[in-house]
Structure 1
Amino acid sequence: MADPTPPAAPDSPAAASAAAVVVGSTRRERTGWYFYDWAMSAFSTTVITVFLGPFLTSVTEQAAGCAIDADSCAAYVYPLGIKVAAGSYFPYLVSLSVALTVLVLPVMGALADRSLHKKRLLAVSAFVGAGATVAMVFVTGERYLLGGALFILANVAFGASVVVYNSFLPQLGGPDDRDGISSRGWALGYLGGGLLLAANLVVVQSFSVDGDPQRTLDLARWSIVSAGVWWAVFTLVPLAWLREHPALEARPGANVLTDGFKQLGATLRGLKAYPLTLFFLLAFLVYNDGIQTVIALSSQYGTEELRLGQSTLIVTILLVQFLAFGGALALGAIARRVGAWKTVLGSLVLWTGVILAAFRLPAEAPAQFMALGAAIGLVLGGSQALSRSLFSQLIPAGREGEYYGFYEISDKGTSWLGPLAFGLVFQLTNSYRVGLVSLLIFFVVGFVLLLAVPMRRAIVAAGNTPPRVL
């Protein structure tokens, strides 16, 4: 793909401004940035991955008139007068929050690029999300509507905070440093999220009482609350250590909100000037959807197809979390030698191997399932961290927030494609194994698309200096 946009001259104002913000970065500032990954990952792991779905479904089933320990519930609830099966309430909330996220993230990115106080945007979005999570303490009895509203608010705020957080990355290091910075942040996130999840699982296992499902439900609610507290407390570290870098498009006295919307429109119209950046986003959309689907459906595959117990799934989840810490650092080290682009391509080959190994995995083989989880952990963090740093090279100076808004849409807003493919194949074949193999297309097509991106030319076309190795 050809790009008609000439690269920014080394002495251009944009290049000079970009260089200035990078030179001003300190180790303390980078450490503060890492700690937001540590803070927010508690929401991803404890809330989204493990506890919230079963907890909110149980509350909804109580509101529908089902017993708390019922194996299934065919009753309905009527939020806003709409008839909804109790078991479908949480998936519908996820879809609604994704739709709202798609609308909010680019606007938040535009605001971040125009604001003189980006840290305030991070604080507002983080504390709104953490506050909504802590407020889950009030979701008792049949308060499923309150739980749904709080989840939507927390999830949208979480996505908005990630956009602002990611927009700091190009200001923290030069082209040759960002892979390592991104990898360390992602690794610390997996470590922090894993530690809190492990603590919560120990509490739930220790204090649950057989025959008392209400006690288990209460423990799950307090585990969710603990993630909100963790998120809020550790957000204080980046707010203290990060510094405000001058926004290239900021104008003192201007209305940041209206200017942000105007700039978003200009960015949407101007995206065609960077077709190689868009092509990278397309590749990321495809292969990341495969990654997200594996994460989302691995527990279902283990339970329904491999007939594994809950304890095996819990141990495997923790194994993935902690090995992803080392995997992110390891792939970051490899990227320093061979380049992030080649390393991500290699990780997609490994993901393909994971899918094939999962297809051949025998039922009732917990040790082999855990070994596969270990392989996922080693490749998971690195492939995501290096994709983030690669994209930072493709963003025109001063547009970090806006472009990371679109990046987060590619990350979160299309995560229904893989599950849809999996579900359709299962419906046609009645086989989870065949459904799993259908995900190969996301990794194969994603690999081909990423391989087709001329990364060095794409980086220059965005007005940036390519790293030494790609």
Structure 2
Amino acid sequence: MKITGVFKDPKWLAWVLQDVGNSAFATTIMAVMFPLFYREVLGAGAPKQLVLAMWGYGTAMGMLMTALLAPALGAAADQRGLRKSLFMAFTALGVISSFAMGLLPRGGWILGLAVFVAGSLGFSFNNVFYDSFLPHIASDEDRSLLSSAGYALGYLGGGVLLMLNVLMAARYGEAGFRMSFVSVALWWAAATVPFWMFIQEPPRALGDSYGLFARPLKTLRELPGDPDVMWFLFAFWLYNDGIGTIMRMGVIYGSSIGIDQRTLLMSLVATQFIGIPLTMLWAKASDFVGDKRALMGTLAVYLLICLFVPFIRTPYHFWAMALAIGSVQGGAQALSRSLFSRIVPKDRSAELFGFYDLSSKFAGVLGPLAFGVISQMTGSFALGGPLLAGFFLFGMAMLLKVRA
């Protein structure tokens, strides 16, 4: 399939557009503008070290809540035919939280952190159910390119909106930040309409019905009998810890070492746009070497980035790091999703993508938590980079055990 084929099938287009919609939350809110707004506006008058540490702890708490609930809700979605309903409900939570961020009072960092955690829950569960539709709408041979098209167009959509929001923030200051959060809510809601119209609920899973947590517990006991899924989830847990932590803590780290706001914003906008062609390039590479080998290539680049973190001193250094991240971030995410979709049974995709998200979110607990502790102990995040390098290294070692 060529990327133009995405625009010919309404189901594929509707699925890809959701990546365009929720990417606005990942870029404008999660990665770039809300961390700055939280630190400079919501945290005004509060001890900076406390505000930074609580950001790490609050993020970890949200990830832990998602991790505990994702497999159970995924299993319920498979058994009861609720995949689309739960997708829409958590999308609504993310949209409403984004809108609420524009209304937060100055100095209200505790309330702001709570709203951010709620929005992150909506975003995370949106992705659990969104990803689980992939094996139902695309054949094995189309999944790598469709998954990559989602990330590439997500980079485009998220990048365009981020660029407009950066301009609004530069022109209108605090009011521009608030308008940006409202724009994310409207953008995400609009992108969800085609999904609601064209994507149908997949068939319910056949077999015995279980309680909310009984089915995931049974699956956990059975995982050693499916070593490919088990080793992939362990590997994903480790290397995605690094990816997620870099995404969530990058702007906060840059700000803490004195990188000016303009450099932070513009370098991350550039990260979005460089990700568009390079995500598709990684998809093409997977056609020749396979999803697993291409994924290993992206993780090797991340490993080098982590080792570079303690040496960042100037805006040029931050630019180099941001562009390197942009060259592999979409590829790593798209190839992970595609590879996992190939090794899970279709009728249990929501449950197992719940474990995929569980693996991701337990990673999201450890990384930000470690950065919070490092910040309190040393007053700097710099030592977090070499720590994250170990997660990539051991994740790659476990990924070698997966038979692609």
Cα distance, 1:391 vs structure 2: 0.9
Determine if the alignment matches structure 1 residue 417 to structure 2 residue 356.
no
Segments of 5+ residues of structure 2 without an aligned counterpart are: 1-7
Distance 1:426 1:264 in 2: 36
Structure-1 separation of matches of 2:390 and 2:52: 30
Residue matched to 1:340: 291
**What does 1:117-136 correspond to in 2, within 5 Å?**
117-136=82-101
- 1:138-149 counterparts in 2 under 5 A? 138-140=103-105, 146-149=111-114
Q: CA deviation at 1:400?
A: 0.5
**Distance (Å, rounded) in 2 between the aligned partners of 1:187 and 1:130:** 22
Q: Counterpart of 2:30?
A: 48
Structure-2 change in CA distance of 1:149 and 1:292 (3 Å):
closer
1:316 and 2:290 are equivalent in the alignment:
no
Greater shift after overlay, 221-230 or 398-407?
A: 221-230
2:47 to 53, 68, 73: 73
RMSD, matched Cα: 2.9
In the alignment, which of 165, 172, 191 is matched to residue 207 of structure 1?
A: 172
Supply the distance in 2 between the matched residues of 1:93 and 1:392 (Cα, whole angstroms): 31
Alignment partner, residue 294 of structure 1: 246
**1:109 matched to which residue of 2?**
74
2:143 paired with 1:178: yes
How far, CA to CA, are the matches of 1:423 and 1:129 in structure 2? Answer: 25
Alpha-carbon distance change, 96 to 291 in structure 1, aligned in 2, over 3 angstroms: closer
Segments of 5+ residues of structure 1 without an aligned counterpart are 1-25, 62-67, 76-84, 209-215, 457-470
**Are 1:231 and 2:196 an aligned pair?**
no
Higher relative contact order, chain-length normalized (CA < 8 Å, sep 6+): 2
Q: How does 1:328-407 map to 2 (within 5 A)?
A: 328-358=279-309, 363-364=313-314, 366-407=315-356
For 2:40 and 2:66, the matched residues in 1 are separated by: 25
Q: Secondary structure at the match of 2:67?
A: helix
CA-CA distance at 1:434 after TM superposition:
5.0
1:418-453 residue CA offsets vs partner (Å, 9 max, x unmatched): 345566678888886554233322222222211233
Deviation at 1:376, TM superposition (A): 1.5
Match of 2:219 among 267, 274, 283: 267
Cα 1:59/1:178, change in 2 over 3 Å: same
The secondary structure found in structure 2 opposite 1:139 is coil
Write the letter of the residue equivalent to 2:196: L
**2:234 pairs with 282, 285, 293, which one?**
282
Contact 1:126/1:158 (<8 A) preserved: yes
Length, aligned pairs only: 397
1:186/1:385 contact within 8 Å kept: yes
Alignment of 1:212-223 (within 5 A): 216=174, 218-223=175-180
C-alpha contact (below 8 Å) 1:108/1:164 kept by paired residues: no
Q: Structure 2: how far apart are the matches of 1:109 and 1:401?
A: 5
The one-character-per-residue Cα deviations of 1:309-363 (angstroms, maximum 9, x if unpaired) are 22111111111111112221110111012100110112222223333455555x3
1:154 counterpart residue number: 119
Structure with a larger share of its residues in helix: 2
From 240, 252, 257, the counterpart of 2:197 = 240
Deviation at 1:268, TM superposition (A): 3.1
Q: Of the candidates 52, 64, 79, which is equivalent to residue 99 of structure 1? A: 64
Q: Percent of pairs identical after alignment?
A: 33
- TM score, norm. by length of structure 2: 0.87
In the alignment, the residues of structure 2 paired with residue 437 and residue 183 of structure 1 have an alpha-carbon distance, to the nearest angstrom, of 29
Q: Assess if the C-alpha contact under 8 Å between 1:421 and 1:439 holds in 2.
A: no
Letter of the 2:242 partner, please give it: G
* Distance change in 2, residues 1:35/1:407 (3 Å): same
What TM-score comes out, normalization by structure 1 length?
A: 0.76
In 1, distance between residues paired with 2:9 and 2:279? Answer: 19
Supply the distance in 2 between the matched residues of 1:425 and 1:154 (Cα, whole angstroms).
26
Amino acid at match of 1:276: D
Using the alignment, how far apart are the partners of 2:97 and 2:189 within structure 1?
A: 11
CA contact (8 A) 1:137 1:225 kept: yes
Aligned mates of 2:107, 2:316 — CA distance in 1: 40
Q: What secondary structure does 2:204 align onto?
A: coil
1:139 to 1:177, Cα distance in 2 relative to 1, 3 A:
same
